[in-house]
């Protein structure tokens, strides 16, 4: 049985080990104003945030209201050592009798339950104490001292200054307006009945809190009850006496819920006092254990080992999410500080054949934070590491990290680590698979045809287009689009944040700000916005979507062929012109359409397009350069035994792709000793079985033209 209990405790607290519990003030019973454990309390009861960095505490058996400041020093506010009948006055001239609940308004006034005097007392910032409501035993509603209470224990205040009182021995929840008008919100006689107003029944309600919508939450016996602004009472959580986490009434509490507070996200934190625990309840009613071991103690430290002895008050500072606790029988004020280690948020992986981009966010918790990404081929062997980005401040900082030199078609595991002076946070180990290097999903040579040479759907709706002489002087080998018309390809395009590469040659006869080149889809759903590229006067413009140009560089002159490559890795758009990298920038895509469109309806110039290729991954830079070099070779004279060819990727680890304009007759691979080690008849060759090193690839086409390329096998 002991082993099972320890296992449950580990499961319950493993999620919260970053949080720590400390004693802010108090130690043994007594009365001393001091700092930390040098200060003494005698059965402190209620607690409230004072609107700044201090808290207000009702020191029950010392009959005083005190403050604890950010440096853990204490200060006297009102009351005296003598208890008894009501005496109003300033500071020590005032008298209380068994102080319990406390609340603070927006004007730095405090309200306290003077339980033994059946009254709600008000204390101004100057320490002036008056009787705000009640003062005699009874159940009467009314204004100010005409109202009656019986041993009120819990107190909460809403944004409008209305007070809500757990009138404990009257089994009622009372409401007091800022003018002091007291009414009964819900409850009547001792019992347990859900209903509206006085039709509902409570049994010794204690802890109380009110949310931003005016719903009141009340702790009584083993339940949390909810009261709407209209007075409708339901059971929010709990049922029978015991200890059990769960959903709603499936959860169990012990007999006495003496404190409740509400966090900024709407979660309830509940003092399950005689289970010696703090329980957390989500807005959906899911109950979990937040801190405490189920037995009394005074241990500070990690929440997995910290212990309490009957919590009677609880309050949260929503500015820094610190939870303050009145540890009644330990005569201490304790605090649970949130973790200040950095947060790692929303990691997303965008894999490519030879690398992967990992996008994530860091919250530095106001401490300078660094990050690394570890990765490898097994979840228990993350042997490689890449430095990530840094973060400061308290806002989420977005960034991305590139994992280089990966192999296509391979599963990789990764884990992100973020470190600041408070410690290191790691996220769960994730995995991704790099895609296998494949040829373009669409390839159009425009050699007197609109067809995709990969065999998929060709262009349709060709509009005012014709075939013209290409950049090498070969007739009918390029596509011309006349102003005012466009042509579409009904191909399946990479959508959304999927990786892609578009490669083509272009020529515009007249410089114009309306010389649209191509786009995916229509309107705002285009591949990179409403346009991919625009060519303005003496400038290169790209990625228009109702915002500033992504790039504007003088890279264009009329009637000159240029090679253009645009890539998108799920995060960044990159652009290359004539094989040279121009720049990149983050860009968020929302592509929903799949048609690829050349030209646009508002073209005022004539465009020429050649050798269009679309890939469903990002080509590495060396492959982009190879495409440019391959396409800038002079027009081949096949009778002279030279062959226009490109090979990629290079270096290669798995599949080697070969680009030629003609059919391949043979491919031979030689090592540096001149030994032929592999032959093939395909434009795709699996070289994964080759040892790492340098090889020569001899390609011969059906016209007996030959070319030799050097490759590096990773």
The mean pLDDT value for 491-519 works out to: 68
Neighbours of 405 (CB within 10 A): 10
Strands (E), 421-514: 423-426, 430-433, 442-444, 459-460, 465-468, 478-481, 487-489, 500-508
Task: Note whether 498 and 583 are same-domain residues.
Answer: yes
Peptide bond into 649 cis (omega under 30): yes
Cα–Cα dist 267/211, whole Å: 10
Q: What mean pLDDT, rounded, does the chain reach?
A: 83
- Listed residues 293, 319, 337: the one ending a domain: 337
Task: Note whether 577 and 606 are same-domain residues.
Answer: yes
Q: Is 116 helix (H, G, I), strand (E, B) or coil?
A: helix
In a domain, 1, yes or no: no
Residues facing 561 on adjacent strands: none
In a domain, 206, yes or no: yes
The mean pLDDT value for 26-38 works out to: 97
pLDDT at residue 665 above 70?
A: yes
Cα–Cα dist 647/274, whole Å: 75
Cα–Cα dist 236/208, whole Å: 13
- Listed residues 380, 406, 434: the one ending a domain: 434
Task: Note whether 491 and 610 are same-domain residues.
Answer: yes
624: enclosing H helix or E strand:
helix 621-632
Cα–Cα dist 473/354, whole Å: 36
Q: What is the CATH number of the domain that holds 204?
A: 2.120.10.30
3-state SS, 80-145, equals: CCCCCCCECEEHHHCECCCEEEEEECCCCCEEEEEHHHCEEEEECCCCEEEEEEECCECCCCEEHH
DSSP string, 393-440: SSSEEEEEEEE-SPPTT-EEEEEEEEEETTEEEEPPPEEEEPPPP---
Return the pLDDT at 123: 97
pLDDT at residue 523 above 50?
A: no
Q: What is the CATH number of the domain that holds 425?
A: 2.60.40.10
The number of domains in the chain is 4
Tokens found for residue 197: 């107003």
Which domain covers residue 558, as residue numbers?
A: 442-630
Nearest one of 474, 459, 458 to 599, comparing CA atoms: 459
The mean pLDDT value for 600-607 works out to: 57
**How far does Cα 385 stand from its chain's mean position?**
23
Residues facing 66 on adjacent strands: 57, 76
pTM of the entire structure?
Answer: 0.56
In a domain, 3, yes or no: no
In a domain, 19, yes or no: no
Cα 597-524-542 angle, rounded to 5 deg: 65
Task: Note whether 211 and 152 are same-domain residues.
Answer: yes
Query: Residue 115 has what DSSP assignment?
Result: G
Return the pLDDT at 599: 63
Cα–Cα dist 219/269, whole Å: 11
pLDDT at residue 590 above 60?
A: no
- Listed residues 337, 368, 398: the one ending a domain: 337
DSSP string, 251-264: -BB-S-EEEEEE-T
Task: Note whether 326 and 470 are same-domain residues.
Answer: no
Task: Note whether 277 and 412 are same-domain residues.
Answer: no
In a domain, 27, yes or no: no
Residues facing 75 on adjacent strands: 67
Return the pLDDT at 485: 53
Nearest one of 644, 594, 634, 584 to 614, comparing CA atoms: 594
pLDDT at residue 84 above 90?
A: yes
Task: Note whether 76 and 191 are same-domain residues.
Answer: yes
Instruction: Place 1 in a pLDDT band, splitting at 50, 70 and 90.
Output: very low
Q: What is the CATH number of the domain that holds 486?
A: 2.60.120.200
Task: Note whether 328 and 386 are same-domain residues.
Answer: no
Return the pLDDT at 550: 37
Tally the C-alpha atoms within 13 A of residue 130's C-alpha that lie toward its C-beta: 10
pLDDT at residue 602 above 70?
A: no
438-493 pLDDT, tens digit each:
778 888 888 888 887 776 667 776 667 888 888 877 788 888 877 555 666 666 66
Cα–Cα dist 90/224, whole Å: 37
3-state SS, 314-341, equals: EEEECCCCEEEEEEHHHCEEEEEECCCC
Task: Note whether 622 and 654 are same-domain residues.
Answer: no
The mean pLDDT value for 364-375 works out to: 94
In a domain, 635, yes or no: no
Cα–Cα dist 480/468, whole Å: 6
Strands of the 205-210 sheet, one edge to the other: 195-196, 232-237, 223-227, 216-220, 205-210
**Residue recorded with tokens 């680590």:** 417
pLDDT at residue 106 above 70?
A: yes
pLDDT at residue 580 above 90?
A: no
pLDDT at residue 671 above 80?
A: no
In a domain, 412, yes or no: yes
In a domain, 249, yes or no: yes
Q: What is the CATH number of the domain that holds 666?
A: 2.60.40.3080
Return the pLDDT at 521: 45
Q: Which residue has the higher pLDDT, 355 or 238?
A: 238
Task: Note whether 136 and 191 are same-domain residues.
Answer: yes
Task: Note whether 347 and 333 are same-domain residues.
Answer: no
Cα–Cα dist 90/76, whole Å: 12
Task: Note whether 277 and 138 are same-domain residues.
Answer: yes
């Amino acid at each position: 049985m002991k082993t099972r209990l320890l296992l449950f405790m580990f499961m319950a607290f493993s999620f919260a080990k970053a949080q720590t519990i400390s004693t802010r003030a108090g130690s043994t019973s007594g009365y001393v104003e001091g700092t930390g454990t040098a200060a003494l309390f005698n059965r402190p009861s209620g607690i409230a945030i004072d609107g700044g960095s201090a808290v207000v505490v009702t020191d029950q058996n010392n009959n005083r209201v005190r403050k604890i400041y950010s440096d853990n020093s204490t200060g006297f506010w009102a009351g005296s050592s003598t208890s008894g009948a009501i005496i109003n006055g300033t500071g020590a001239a005032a008298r209380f009798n068994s102080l319990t609940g406390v609340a603070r308004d927006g004007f730095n006034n405090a309200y306290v339950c003077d339980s033994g005097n059946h009254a709600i007392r008000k204390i101004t910032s100057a320490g002036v104490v008056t009787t705000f409501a009640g003062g005699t035993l009874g159940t009467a509603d009314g204004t100010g001292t005409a109202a009656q209470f019986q041993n009120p224990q819990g107190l909460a205040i809403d944004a409008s200054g209305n007070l809500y009182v757990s009138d404990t021995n009257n089994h009622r929840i009372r409401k007091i307006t800022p003018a002091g008008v007291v009414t009964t919100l819900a409850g009547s006689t001792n019992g347990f009945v859900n209903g509206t107003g006085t039709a509902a029944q409570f049994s010794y309600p204690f802890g109380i809190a009110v949310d931003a919508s005016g719903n009141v939450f009340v702790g009584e016996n083993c339940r949390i009850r909810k009261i709407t602004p209209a007075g409708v009472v339901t059971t929010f959580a709990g049922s029978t006496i015991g200890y059990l986490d769960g959903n709603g009434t499936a959860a169990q509490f012990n007999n006495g819920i003496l404190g409740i507070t509400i966090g900024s996200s709407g979660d309830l934190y509940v003092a399950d006092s005689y289970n010696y625990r703090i329980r957390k309840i989500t807005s959906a009613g899911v109950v979990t254990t937040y801190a405490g071991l189920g037995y009394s103690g005074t241990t500070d430290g990690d929440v997995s080992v910290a212990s309490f002895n009957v919590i009677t008050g609880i309050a949260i500072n929503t500015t820094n999410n610190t939870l303050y606790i009145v540890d009644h029988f330990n005569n201490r004020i304790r605090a649970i500080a949130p973790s200040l280690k950095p947060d790692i948020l929303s990691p997303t992986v965008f894999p490519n054949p030879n690398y992967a981009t990992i996008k994530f966010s860091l919250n530095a918790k106001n401490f300078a934070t660094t990050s690394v990404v570890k990765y490898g081929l097994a979840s228990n062997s993350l042997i490689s590491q890449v430095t990530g980005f840094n973060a400061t401040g308290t806002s989420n900082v977005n960034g991305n990290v590139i994992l280089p030199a990966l192999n296509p078609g391979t599963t990789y595991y990764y884990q992100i680590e973020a470190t600041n002076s408070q410690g290191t946070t790691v996220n769960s180990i994730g995995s991704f698979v790099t895609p296998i290097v494949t040829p373009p999903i669409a390839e159009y040579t425009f050699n007197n045809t609109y067809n995709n040479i990969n065999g998929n759907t060709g262009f349709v709706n060709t509009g005012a287009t014709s075939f013209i002489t290409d950049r090498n002087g070969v007739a009918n080998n390029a596509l011309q689009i006349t102003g005012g018309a466009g042509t579409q390809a009904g191909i399946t395009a990479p959508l959304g944040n999927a990786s892609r590469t578009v490669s083509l040659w272009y020529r515009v006869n007249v410089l114009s700000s309306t010389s649209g080149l191509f786009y995916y889809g229509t309107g705002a759903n285009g591949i990179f916005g409403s346009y991919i590229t625009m060519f303005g006067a003496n400038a290169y413009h790209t990625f228009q979507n109702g915002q500033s140009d992504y790039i504007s560089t003088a890279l264009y002159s009329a009637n000159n062929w240029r090679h253009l490559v645009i890539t998108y890795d799920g995060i960044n758009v990159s652009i290359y012109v004539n094989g040279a990298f121009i720049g990149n920038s983050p860009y968020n895509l929302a592509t929903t359409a799949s048609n690829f469109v050349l030209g646009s309806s508002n073209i005022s110039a004539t465009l020429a397009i050649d050798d269009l290729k679309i890939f469903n991954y990002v080509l590495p830079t060396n492959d982009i350069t190879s495409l440019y070099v391959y396409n800038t070779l002079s027009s081949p004279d096949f009778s002279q035994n030279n062959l226009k060819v490109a090979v990629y990727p290079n270096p290669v680890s798995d599949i080697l792709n070969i680009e030629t304009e003609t059919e391949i007759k043979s491919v031979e691979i030689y090592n540096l000793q001149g030994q032929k080690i592999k032959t093939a008849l395909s434009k795709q060759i699996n070289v994964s079985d080759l040892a790492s090193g340098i090889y020569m690839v001899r390609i011969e086409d059906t016209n007996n033209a030959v070319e030799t390329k050097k490759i590096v096998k990773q």
